Chain A
Amino acid sequence: MLTALDKKLLQETAGLEEDPPGAYNIRKDGEGIQRHSLPGIEIVPKKDKPGIDIIVEKDRTGTVHIPVILTQSDLSDLVYNTIEIGPGADIELVAGCGIHNPGHGEARHDGVHEIFVREGARLRYTEKHYGEGEGKGKRILNPKTVLVVEPGGYAEMELVQIRGVDDTVRETEARIEAGGHLVIYERMLTHGEQTARSDVVVNLLGEGSAARIVSRSVGQGNSRQVFQPRLVAYGPGRGHVECDSIIMDKAVIRSIPEIWAESAEAELVHEAAIGKIAGEQMMKLMALGLTEGEAEEAIIKGFLK
């Protein structure tokens, strides 16, 4: 039975109002509490360790929700999920973790995802992080994702963390085979004393493989962020990395995009920028009647959209 708090966390992380459409698995405080498979989309618990296997059959289309919620203090949840998107399948997968930490101890979720996008398959993957709670206990999220995109496959990952999570280290590693495409959109806002680190390594292996990483972040308060996306091309692959940050207050942001070509046929580009909100932008919005605070909010909201 889901409590009102559970429902709020599910709403924040997975946009769920009621039972998810399609297949789903809801994990709460270290245990799977609701699971629903569909023909061609099977969700089974792992036998040797905590976590699930999601197996999508060839040419299957549909949606899968696998939210994780933590509602206790002094809890460390480690989970391994393996996701297999069969050849030609087209799947929307919504992951994400919501933490409500009521106490002063840590609430921590470490998720390890292994994702296989088989030949010609398409995956849209969204992972939202959300944290809240009245206690002083830290809310910690450390997701690790290993992704393989097979020939002709397409994967789009949207990774979102707006406020609420105290410490996060995100590791993403991808292997893109011939004709495979990967797009990563990363959006982050940290404030207070929060820290966030995101390391992405994308290996472009085959001919016609392509990747684009777009990272947008806002650092407020005394928070600290480090972005280190690396694109490596071993053959005729194309890649673009774009890191763009708004820095405010006393925040610290490091942005270290790296492009690495092992082939003369590779085409790789990176861009990175860190800057404060431009004075002219503030003045423009204030001249439309917004207060300074409202103008700042409108600019950040647009930037992280």
Chain B
Amino acid sequence: MLNLIHVGLELDTEEGKIRILEDINLELGKGKMYAVTGPNGSGKSSVARVIMGIALPTSGNILFNDKDITDLGITERAKLGIGYAFQHPPRFKGMRVVDMLEIAMRTGEMADCQCLRNIGLCPDDYLERALDASLSGGEIKRIEIATLLAQNPKVRIFDEPEAGIDLWSFEQLIDVVGSTHREDNVTVVISHQEKILNMVDEIILVENGMISMKGDQETIWPQIKESAECECRNSCTREGEIYADCPR
């Protein structure tokens, strides 16, 4: 369904070119769920952004249902059926939750509010709310996920959906990502969470802008378990003493 072939991404900065992604090869099949994981700054979100067209690859090709979409912009890719729930969704002054959901549904008016209920927000409380600074980080994140559910694209990419979400909602979130996945979808979840890594068909580990490992949960999890857990106690020292209160 979606193929990344030798995809590379470089950014021009004042200090010269920075390599963000290198030789990414992925074959994401219809009906499958994937997790992309890896350390902070490894390039996980960049993989999502080149799929969505927010960043255009500087080398390689992206195919969607065998069609080369490498040079297509964000809008064209969205129209083909690629969707992306942002890690840090932007806020909009004046625009309401209902306006955003209507844009996502492409209908002009809300047919139903199930997508809000699915992520634990009461439509009566939230539809008329402005998508601005009055919403908490957790709320805006949940609305972002509801927007992707409302859009219902063929390729669904969730970028760290758990970030900023409380524990109770997290369980609900995992349920809804799983239960809304259909046979003709590809679902990609960028995450560090063990529960998410456990629910997917394949885990893709990104390190230093490259795919260092991929495979099913049983193969990959034992190998990344240690690095996914906290190493803070071993490595973090403060004035020579081991700093005991790990922030993670």
Enumerate chain A interface residues (CB-CB to B < 8 A).
216, 244, 278, 280-281, 283-292, 298-299, 302-305
Contact = CB atoms under 8 A, between A and B. Distances in A.
Given A287-B52, A287-B83, A288-B151, A299 B74 contact: no
B83 A298 contact: no
B240 to A, nearest CB: 42
A289 B79 contact: yes
A284 B90 contact: yes
8 contacts: A278-B90, A281-B90, A286-B74, A287-B54, A287-B78, A288-B78, A288-B83, A290-B103
Contacts, number: 61
Most A CB within 10 A of own CB, among B92, B96, B100? B92
B99 interface: yes
B94 interface: yes
A285 B104 CA distance: 8
Nearest to B131: A302
A283 B79 CA distance: 14
A244 B103 CA distance: 24
B92 A280 contact: no
B215 interface: no
A117 B12 CA distance: 61
B163 to A, nearest CB: 16
A104 B100 CA distance: 42
Interface of B: 52, 54, 73-75, 78-79, 83-84, 86, 88-90, 92-96, 99-100, 103-104, 106, 147, 151
Nearest to B77: A287
A290 B75 CA distance: 6
A303 B94 contact: yes
Contacts of B106: 289
Residue picked from A244, A283, A289, A304, most chain B C-beta under 10 Å:
A289
Contacts of A283: 54, 74
A219 to B, nearest CB: 16
Contacts of B95: 298-299, 302-303, 305
B149 to A, nearest CB: 12
A292 B86 contact: no
B96 A302 contact: yes
A283 B54 CA distance: 7
B134 to A, nearest CB: 14
B93 A302 contact: yes
A164 B158 CA distance: 43
A284 B78 contact: no
Contacts of A304: 94
A244 B90 contact: no
Contacts of B75: 286, 289-292
B99 A302 contact: yes
A289 B96 CA distance: 18
A146 to B, nearest CB: 30
A299 B94 CA distance: 8
A216 B95 CA distance: 13
Contact of A280 (B86, B99, B147, B151): B86
Contacts of A278: 90
B103 A288 contact: yes
B147 A288 contact: yes
Given A280-B86, A280-B90, A287-B52, A298 B73 contact: no
The 7 closest A-B pairs by CB, nearest first: A302-B95, A302-B94, A280-B90, A286-B74, A289-B78, A303-B94, A281-B90
Contacts of A289: 75, 78-79, 103, 106, 151
Contacts of A299: 92, 95
Contacts of A287: 52, 54, 74, 78, 83-84, 86
Contacts of B88: 280
Given A289-B106, A303-B92, 7 more contacts: A280-B90, A290-B75, A298-B99, A299-B92, A299-B95, A303-B93, A303-B95
B103 A285 contact: yes
A286 B151 CA distance: 12
